[in-house]
Amino acid sequence: MTRMIRGPQARQLFNVPLSGIEETRKSVPAKRVERDSFQAPLVLLLISLFVIGVVWRWLGMPADLVRAPIDPNDKVQCVSYAPFRNHQTSLSSATRVSREQIAEDLAELAKISGCIRTYATDLGLDQIPELAAKVGLKVMQGIFLDRDREKNRHQISTGIRLAREYPDTIIALVVGSEVLLRHGMSTSELASTIRSVKAQAAVPVTYADVWEFWLSNRELYDVVDFVTIHILPYWENIPIRAERAAAHADAIRRRVASAFPGKEILIGEIGWPSEGRMRESALPSRVNQARVVSEVLDLARRENFRVNLFEAYDESWKQEIEGTVGGSWGLFDSEQRTLKYPPGVPISNFPFWKLQMVSGMALAILVFGVAGLTLRRMPKDPRPVSWLAVAVSATTCGILLGVAAQRMLHESYGGSWFLWGALLIAATASPVLGANALMSGRATPVCLELLGPERERTRSTLAIMHGLVWIVTIVIGTATAIGLVFDPRNIDFPFAALTMAAVPFAAMTLLDPAAKGTRPLAESMFAGVYLVAAIYVAFNEGPSNWQALWTCAAYVLLAVTLWRVRTRE
């Protein structure tokens, strides 16, 4: 049997002092210890940068379209035109569009189209036919009709006068646009108005409305020279995916043609928004807008029907009443008045993806840098999971920074600049302050530390900054959640910025078991709001809307984080 050697005999046999391990540890050079302690974080940083680069390369890939949406050698048939820029709006009677502004626009439009469609004759728009004639553009002159009967009479008289003065330029009068949709006139009154205009005009006369209203008001068939229908797949009661938009438009055109035999069917409006919120599976994007325009124009050539694209220029003023989508239907940018899709230039949803990628990488480096500096100032041995949490926060925020910034630029209008700007700032600061907190052991901030009684407030500058970021995230996130529940039609989904802000806080809270302390009332109430909103919005928007589902996931993450927060005893 083998005899075990114990106690002093073992020490004599192996000649190992009790303090040998400690002495060996002290004999390791300090530089080697420091190098080993930062080896894992460096590997995580490199992985983070690699992931950010790969994702942004994928996001920036150009679309593979059958043909460019605008071909300089093959002009589009007609395009809707409204000249309003910057703060100009058709909702104000004080708006007056100058001749120079209109002339500049029409000179550009003449390069891509031979025709424009207008919608009214006031606010300086009565100058359009004269200026269009100078650049060789034909005009489908719009006459705006609504509940104001006196204004209607002025619109009609001006439209008839223009048709008489410019018979070689104005090829049709569009008497009213979606007035039945807006319930501005009865069908019988509209039919009487159209007859009156026809009796005084020498050009063809039509009325324009969403296709369903033509099918439900067939008495207009006899009073128009041709039928003008609006087909906007994005706004259908059951939204249509961009990939199916052209086929949907063709099916509707054929359906209306069978209902009104003997009359030409003009698609008076068709297009797709380049920015804005999803509606079920209908995603506004630059690529989808280019795809829809390209495929509709190709279909019109093959099937030999007339189509008017909606629209020439983005109209930023429409964002006030229709959200981001309302101001994003143009082929040209609203501010710069430049073509969104220049011939020969690849089309991407993120045309500045390289800048967005570099910005995300810089943020990731900053997050890791703050974590490393925190350890140097407060030397301790962090848990490996803390570095993993820093890496997850840095990578997530590095990817989403460019997305959130681009969405803020397009979705901010009016007073929302402050709202979305504040959320983006908070989202950018969240991973940086979160890295500091993870390495220093600071707990998730509590509202009481900033807004509570004097004795409970924190004195730490970093804790105060972190708390402000937390409060901004909670308040703005709650505002969007309530908006998506009660008035969702025109509210964008803040999935990118909200995720950037939420992930670092969630990482901090999950690493802090919160075994002690009480659950704050404010945080508990906000958690309930987020959870209820997430459930309602997910069901209301449907499973096809990934923007909504992503936003709901961010709400749930915030709810869980808020529920786990505890005050410190």
The pLDDT-based confidence of 32 (bands split at 50, 70, 90) is very low
> For a pLDDT cut of 90, what percent of the chain falls above it?
73
Q: Could you tell me which of 311, 300, 222, 295 has the C-alpha nearest to residue 266? A: 300
Rama region for 21: left / alpha / beta (φ>0; ψ in -120 to 50; rest): alpha
For β-strands 138-143 and 115-117, DSSP reports them as parallel
Asked if the model's pLDDT at residue 52 lies above 90, the reply is yes
Give me the sign of the Cα torsion angle 94, 99, 105, 110.
positive
Cβ atoms of residues 173 and 202 within 8 Å: no
| pLDDT single digits (tens) 506-553 | 998 888 755 466 778 888 999 999 999 999 999 999 999 999 999 999
Where does 238-292 show beta strands of DSSP type E? Answer: 265-270
The Cα–Cα gap between 295 and 555 comes to 37
Cβ atoms of residues 343 and 71 within 8 Å: yes
Residue 29: predicted pLDDT: 52
Residue 514: predicted pLDDT: 53
- Stretch 240-258: mean pLDDT: 97
Residue 344: predicted pLDDT: 81
**Cβ neighbours of residue 429 closer than 8 Å, sequence gap 6 or more:** 465, 469
Q: 3-state DSSP call for residue 489?
A: coil
138 or 376, greater pLDDT: 138
Asked if the model's pLDDT at residue 26 lies above 80, the reply is no
Would the pTM of this model clear 0.85, i.e. be above it? yes
The pLDDT-based confidence of 34 (bands split at 50, 70, 90) is low
Query: Each residue of 296-334: b (16+ CB within 10 Å) or e?
Result: bbebbeeeebebbbbbbbbbbbbbbebbbbbbbbbbbeb
297 half-sphere exposure, CB direction, 13 A CA radius: 25
Amino acid at 561: T
Residue 20: predicted pLDDT: 44
Q: Which two tokens stand for residue 260?
A: 């009104």
Q: Which two tokens stand for residue 121?
A: 């004759």
The pLDDT-based confidence of 415 (bands split at 50, 70, 90) is low
Asked if the model's pLDDT at residue 107 lies above 60, the reply is yes
Residue 23: predicted pLDDT: 45
- Stretch 18-42: mean pLDDT: 54
Q: Could you tell me which of 279, 229, 325 has the C-alpha nearest to residue 220? A: 229
Query: Each residue of 247-276: b (16+ CB within 10 Å) or e?
Result: eebbebbeebbeebeebebbbbbbbbbbbb
Asked if the model's pLDDT at residue 33 lies above 80, the reply is no
Residue 161: predicted pLDDT: 97
Could you count the other beta carbons within 10 Å of the beta carbon of residue 390? 30
Residue 458: predicted pLDDT: 73
- Stretch 232-259: mean pLDDT: 96
Residue 530: predicted pLDDT: 97
Q: Which domains does the chain have, with CATH numbers?
A: 34-59+351-564 (no CATH), 78-326 (3.20.20.80)
Amino acid at 101: Q
Mean confidence (pLDDT) of the chain: 89
Residue 417: predicted pLDDT: 82
Residue 461: predicted pLDDT: 83
Cβ atoms of residues 515 and 351 within 8 Å: no
> For a pLDDT cut of 70, what percent of the chain falls above it?
90
The pLDDT-based confidence of 13 (bands split at 50, 70, 90) is very low
Residue 320: predicted pLDDT: 86
| pLDDT single digits (tens) 461-486 | 888 899 999 999 999 999 999 999 99
Residue 255: predicted pLDDT: 96
Residue 513: predicted pLDDT: 59
The pLDDT-based confidence of 493 (bands split at 50, 70, 90) is very high
Residue 432: predicted pLDDT: 97
171 or 441, greater pLDDT: 171
